[in-house]
Amino acid sequence: MDREEERGRSLVVIGADGVGLADARRLWRGARISAMSAELPTTSSTGWLSSLTGLAPVEHGALGVVQRAEADRVARFVLSPDPDLALPPVATAFEDAARLGRRAIALTGDLLDLDGPWRSRLLAGAEIREGPRLLAGRAVERPEPGELVETLESALARTLDEAAPAFVWCHVDIDLAIHHHGVDPWVEDLLARLDAAAGRLARRARVVAYADHGLVPTRHDPGLAARLAAFCEREGLAVGGAGRMRWLYDADDPRIERALRTLLPEDVRLVRREALFPAGPYRARVGPLVLLATGTRFLTDPLYTHDHGGGSPAERRVPFAVWEAR
């Protein structure tokens, strides 16, 4: 294929939420895979926005699933339609693609149920198409993997038929299934079928996939949750973050840090905010004291078997996969 023909090809990008590097290397056998490092905290709201803007979390403002804005002292859910959690206007890969003469299209996929400032910033500059909705709301029942991948492949193929050359980004929330079941045979089947579908699509477009984070075994610790809740209520502290990284607001008093170090188990690290996040305009959206899970028990949904948000290698090492035309 000559350079002129290559420049005229469309680019399909699959955002495979929750797929760690080791599983991608094992199951995406038709792809050439490079390693990337996920941003901290290793949550979707942070990772996807960094990936499509090229900005660090302290620059784009989505530092966690639950965080405070500068205007008030209320911890807000960043994926909600709450207009009070302001995110700065940022340039995205969709706007870059449009400047290069590509039609920029986002298939919202499993982001379909999310609306508000975060999704608006994430998809700025894209022609937004709703679908296909694959796993959102169905992570426990989990439909047949072949049906899901066929739906995704058909949607991407139709989009390529309608727009060329195009930059097409699609989100697939495999994360939801891994939260509940880990990378079990169902997830393995789904990822293997996704590999085959990407190989077929590569005959007519460049195809890549990447992830925002991986997941690790995690179980909810009711005792830790109760002790921490009682401590925060007594000291008047608010909690932010999500998953395996939580932080405490209003915790600047050295006495609070000393008390926490005696309260927390050995497999929960207590870290100052500055040790994890570089200086930036939005760093203060993280509380001054950060709790990091290093073991398998922490604060999570009681129904989960796996979670993310922390800084372990399995959470941070993610794939960038490329399928070549054959």
User: How far, in Å, CA of 253 to CA of 155, rounded?
Assistant: 54
Angle (nearest 5°) at CA 178 between 177 and 182:
125
* pLDDT at position 214: 98
Among 282, 270, 215, CA closest to 243: 215
Among 187, 200, 106, CA closest to 150: 200
Whether 78 and 45 have beta carbons less than 8 Å apart is answered as yes
pTM: 0.94
* pLDDT at position 137: 65
Averaged pLDDT, 127-132: 86
Q: Is residue 190 pLDDT above 80, yes or no?
A: yes
* pLDDT at position 140: 64
Q: Is residue 162 pLDDT above 50, yes or no?
A: yes
pLDDT confidence of 224, banded at 50, 70, 90?
very high
What does the mean pLDDT of the chain come to?
92
* pLDDT at position 2: 44
* pLDDT at position 213: 98
Averaged pLDDT, 88-114: 91
* pLDDT at position 133: 79
CA-to-CA dists, residue 292 to 50, 94, 196, 231, 243, angstroms = 21, 34, 37, 17, 9
Q: Is residue 12 pLDDT above 80, yes or no?
A: yes
Among 157, 174, 246, 243, CA closest to 211: 174
pLDDT confidence of 138, banded at 50, 70, 90?
low
